[in-house]
Amino acid sequence: MDRTPSGAASRLSFLSRVGVDPVQFRALFEAGLKLDFRSPSAMQARPQSGWKRFGSLAVMYAMLGIALGMMALFVPDVFLSGSLALSAVMFLVGSSVLIEFAVVVISPLDYEVLGYQPVSSTTYFAVRLANVLFYTSALTTIVGILPMAAYFFARGFDPVLGAAAIAAFYAASITTTVAMIVAYVGIAQLVHPAKLQRVLTYLQLLLSFAIYGGYFMLPRMFEPAALRTWTVRKSAWMLLYPPTWFASYLDLAIGRWTAMEIVPALVGVATAALLGYLTAARLSLRYSEVLSVQSSKSEGPQAPGRALLKLGRTGERRAIALLLRAQFKHDQRFRFTVLSLVPLTLFYLMLGTREGGFRDPFVHAGWSGDSMLLYFAMLMFPMMLLTGVSRTDAYRAAWVFYVTPARRSDLVLALKDLAMVYMLVPYCLGLGLVLAWYYGNILHAYLHLAVQLMFVNLVLLLGIALQHDLPFSRPPMQKGQATGAFFFVLLVASIAQAAMTGLLSRFVYRQPVLLALVVAGFLAGGIAGQRALRRHLDRHVGEMEFAA
Amino acid sequence: MIEVRGLSRRFGDILAVDAITFDVARGEILGFLGPNGAGKSTTVKMLTGMLRPSGGTARVAGFDVVSQPVDVKRRVGYVPESGAIYDNLTGAEYLDLVASLHHLDTARSRSRAEEMLQHFGLLNAANRRIAEYSKGMRQKVLLAAALLHNPDVLFLDEPLTGLDANAALIVKELLRSLAGQGKTIFFCSHILEVVERICTRIIIISKGAIVIEGAAADICAQTGTATLEQAFSQLTGIQDVESVTRDFLAALENR
């Protein structure tokens, strides 16, 4: 049997001394990296290669690194700036391990693939730890390179402080990594992995909202010049916060050697050692076996959901409602596509309210730029849903649409109707309350939104006419595949929407007869458009072949 | 019940199905055999309306597959070779989905689905996600879905895949009974013993063209072979089995 050249093995011989097979270690580590970089993140609407995924994270983290570097340079209190920077690093590393690289931590599949191979638990542990640390160290380097460099010069050239910063950043990163591994594998033993994945989707949603919000809100909250006056008074309570343990290294480096620095620094080291020990006990093939058993267990019977199905008792709409509900519940990618709209909506709403609120278009002629974001959301969200809903890993199962007598045009239109009823109507009902608060007139708020809704319906009909697929019938989008038609419609429609909103406010809303005519026009257009689209789809979707 | 005349399908330069012609009568179980890539699944996909023929005509249950595809689909049931199914639905939900696509009455289709799941021993798992099912359980759901609307014609592409011996026995007996009731069954399989046992007539295709058709005994007589397996091997141009085996073993020795 072929073996790896002995030279390569000897370079890794130190591993042998700790019970790790160096040849297996190298083979599994390399295979792990290849697999991780080739598999898409479960959370992404469109799968990307690992490098691209890592690249987009890296850009985001590098931007944060610039801000942290500025803080390290200009905040005079190194303990304070260090605590803040290390908070960011620990937060980002922790969330990455939990969400982006959870599958790297431990995979139930490992047991299926490696369980019968001659791989010891020690070797498996070393490979898994090395895989995870590879990612988290890279992220730490990207986010921390500027602040670490800044500490060399923050108080004149001080190499000791710089070296302490490097030690603090990587110690914080490694401690967070192993803490997340211990937490993740602990929870995964108790909770079904599918449920855990769902919880992680919601967690990522919250985190993305926090990150988006932070980027936009923080610069508005602080003046850069105020950085120079920032300082903090240490207390014992403050030292319960883990980033301060590692920030204490910075204080030690500048000569502060009291119990308030030494004890937290020692606590940091002890915690890292304890977590390392606990990780070694958990990241074994034996653990992978436990996880494999847990994964193969049933999640239990699924509660039949009735609300969504009331829209159609039989036929295409019921079929699509059934699929949408199940896909939303269990398809991570689809759920994340839909849920990612929520923080954006809240963000748009927040922006609108911060800039002086919303003006009643029935009273004030013209349009408000901030309000437009909310109406744009009405266009964008269903368009994104319609674009994303045809893509799924389960696309091969779409044969069922081709061998049954279902009217394919109705399958496509059912999606639009469901998006309107279950997405836009609740959105408008909620938004109407917010607008009514600002307008002081609930009728104006809902009338205005009803007109917008009818406009959006027309745009959706146009969008479907230009780009139509059967639901859940296409493989996940690959690099280079464009959704150009949809985004072109979105761009043109958003311009038209802005113009229409301004015109309505200036010329129509104050004349009830004209308003009634416009509403009647939209309604008639919607009905005629739907009929025309059904005929168009019958010709085009009806001709489609099953391509999977 | 199935009339195929000069049916062809081309994928770019590749001629997957080359002007095949055959009939399948009401109550007949036709075994449709061929090596991998011979054009079996493409033929089935054309007859079920998933692919449009490049040439020729086909009528299923009295309707043209190109000009009257919806009428055809109302009357056929299909179990695909791929076994592809929406994993995120439960077994009961999948049958509900198929019933909706056939515009079946919800109450009646539910009770029929429940009955079929019970016969297949799946009733307790009906409300679990298909993702949690074994391969055999998934196949049972697909079979139930194909039968749910009581079709006149059944297209079964490797229907016994993953089924245990008992379930396979039930399916084979079920197919015979359905044929006895006048249903037409188009049966694709690589398990030649099963085909030989349950099919009233067999067609073997190779490289998109029909190379022989008839009852199993007739095919053996025509080819001068003792078994259907030998006839298949001879007709579909497989290399000498013994020499391939020798070469394989030799490759293992050269380590």
Chain A residues with CB-CB distance to B99 below 8 A: 314
Quickly tell me which residue has 């257009």 as its tokens: A525
| Interchain proximity B97–A400, CB inside 8 Å | yes
Chain B residues with CB-CB distance to A404 below 8 A: 73, 98, 101-102
Q: Which long-range contacts (CB under 8 A, 24 or more apart) does A243-247 make?
A: A243/A82, A243/A83, A243/A84, A243/A86, A243/A87, A243/A90, A243/A172, A244/A79, A244/A83, A245/A271, A246/A82, A246/A86, A246/A168, A246/A169, A246/A171, A246/A172, A246/A175, A247/A78, A247/A79, A247/A82, A247/A83, A247/A86, A247/A168
Sheet holding B29-33, edge to edge: B76-79, B153-157, B184-188, B29-33, B201-206, B209-214
> What's residue A22's pLDDT?
83
CA-nearest residue of chain B to A394? B86
CA-nearest residue of chain A to B145? A400
Asked if B36 and B239 count as a contact pair (C-beta separation under 8 A), the reply is no
Q: Max alpha carbon distance in chain B (Å)?
A: 65
Distance separating alpha carbons of residues A171 and A176, to the nearest angstrom: 8
> What's residue A352's pLDDT?
67
CA-nearest residue of chain B to A332? B88
Chain A residues 314-353 within an 8 A CB cutoff of chain B: 314-316, 318-319, 322-323, 326-327, 329-331
- Indicate which of A400, A408, A473 best probes the interface with B, i.e. most B CBs within 10 Å of its own CB: A400
Distance separating alpha carbons of residues A543 and A275, to the nearest angstrom: 60
Chain A residues with CB-CB distance to B86 below 8 A: 323, 326-327, 394, 397, 400, 472
| Interchain proximity A394–B84, CB inside 8 Å | yes
| Interchain proximity A403–B100, CB inside 8 Å | no
A122, A124, A126, A132 alpha-carbon torsion, rounded to 10°: -150
- Average pLDDT rounded to a whole number, residues B114-130: 89
> What's residue A43's pLDDT?
41
Which tokens sit at B142?
A: 């697909």
Q: Which residues pair with B210 in a beta bridge?
A: B205
- Cβ-Cβ pairs closer than 8 A, A with B, add up to 112
Distance separating alpha carbons of residues A387 and A341, to the nearest angstrom: 14
| Interchain proximity B90–A1, CB inside 8 Å | no
Closest partner residue to A314 (CB to CB) among B80, B84, B106 is B106
Distance set, CA A373 to CA A208, A404, A485, B52 (Å): 19, 42, 21, 46
Chain A residues with CB-CB distance to B129 below 8 A: 299, 302, 330
> What's residue A44's pLDDT?
44
Determine the straight-line distance between the first and last CA of chain B, rounded to whole angstroms: 56
Shortest Cα distance from A311 to chain B (angstroms)?
13
> What's residue A46's pLDDT?
42
Which tokens sit at B128?
A: 């679990």
CA-nearest residue of chain B to A327? B88
Which among A197, A72, A203 has a CA at the least distance from the CA of A143?
A72
CA-nearest residue of chain A to B49? A403
> What's residue A368's pLDDT?
60
Distance separating alpha carbons of residues B153 and B149, to the nearest angstrom: 11
pLDDT at B167 over 70: yes
Q: Is A195 on the interface with B (CB under 8 A)?
A: no
Centre a 10 Å sphere on the Cβ of residue A11 and count the other Cβ atoms it contains. 11
CA-nearest residue of chain A to B92? A304
Per-residue pLDDT of chain A (548 residues; tens, 9 = 90+): 444 455 555 555 677 777 788 888 888 888 777 766 655 444 444 444 455 556 666 777 888 889 889 888 888 889 988 998 999 899 888 877 776 666 666 566 666 666 666 777 778 778 888 888 888 899 899 999 999 999 999 888 899 999 999 999 999 999 999 888 888 777 777 777 667 767 776 776 676 666 666 656 655 555 666 666 666 677 777 778 899 999 999 999 998 888 888 998 999 899 988 988 887 776 666 666 666 666 556 666 666 655 555 555 568 888 888 888 888 877 777 777 777 767 777 777 777 666 656 788 888 776 665 567 777 777 877 887 777 778 778 888 888 899 898 888 888 888 888 888 887 888 888 888 888 888 888 999 899 889 989 998 998 898 888 878 888 888 876 544 556 666 777 788 888 888 888 888 888 888 889 989 999 999 999 999 999 999 998 888 777 888 76
Q: Is A293 on the interface with B (CB under 8 A)?
A: no
Q: Which positions in chain B have a beta carbon within 8 angstroms of at least one beta carbon in chain A?
A: 45, 48-52, 70-71, 73-74, 76, 78, 80, 82, 84-90, 92-93, 96-106, 127-129, 131-132, 145, 255
Which among A510, A396, A349, A375 has a CA at the least distance from the CA of A449?
A375
Which among A503, A125, A461 has a CA at the least distance from the CA of A283?
A125
pLDDT at B125 over 60: yes
| Interchain proximity B49–A403, CB inside 8 Å | yes
At A400, is the secondary structure helix, strand, or coil? helix
Chain A residues 488-547 within an 8 A CB cutoff of chain B: 543, 545-546
Which among A75, A181, A195 has a CA at the least distance from the CA of A128?
A181
Quickly tell me which residue has 């997957």 as its tokens: B16
> What's residue A173's pLDDT?
94
Choose between A303 and B222: higher pLDDT: B222
Chain B residues with CB-CB distance to A332 below 8 A: none
Q: Report angle CA B55, B61, B67 to the nearest 5 degrees.
A: 40
- Indicate which of B75, B129, B139 best probes the interface with A, i.e. most A CBs within 10 Å of its own CB: B129
Shortest Cα distance from A428 to chain B (angstroms)?
30
Asked if A406 and B101 count as a contact pair (C-beta separation under 8 A), the reply is yes
Centre a 10 Å sphere on the Cβ of residue B46 and count the other Cβ atoms it contains. 27
Helix A315-330 to helix A408-419 angle (10° resolution) is 60
| Interchain proximity B129–A330, CB inside 8 Å | yes
Q: Is A396 on the interface with B (CB under 8 A)?
A: yes
Distance separating alpha carbons of residues A260 and A252, to the nearest angstrom: 10
Centre a 10 Å sphere on the Cβ of residue B238 and count the other Cβ atoms it contains. 12
Distance separating alpha carbons of residues A35 and A470, to the nearest angstrom: 31
Q: Which residues pair with B76 in a beta bridge?
A: B153
Read off the pLDDT band of B171 (50, 70, 90): confident
What element of type H or E holds A185?
A: helix A159-190
Determine the straight-line distance between the first and last CA of chain A, rounded to whole angstroms: 40
DSSP B130: G
| Interchain proximity B100–A397, CB inside 8 Å | no
| Interchain proximity B52–A327, CB inside 8 Å | no
Averaged pLDDT of chain B: 89
Which among B73, B183, B191, B61 has a CA at the least distance from the CA of B202?
B191
Distance separating alpha carbons of residues A308 and A287, to the nearest angstrom: 40
Shortest Cα distance from B72 to chain A (angstroms)?
8
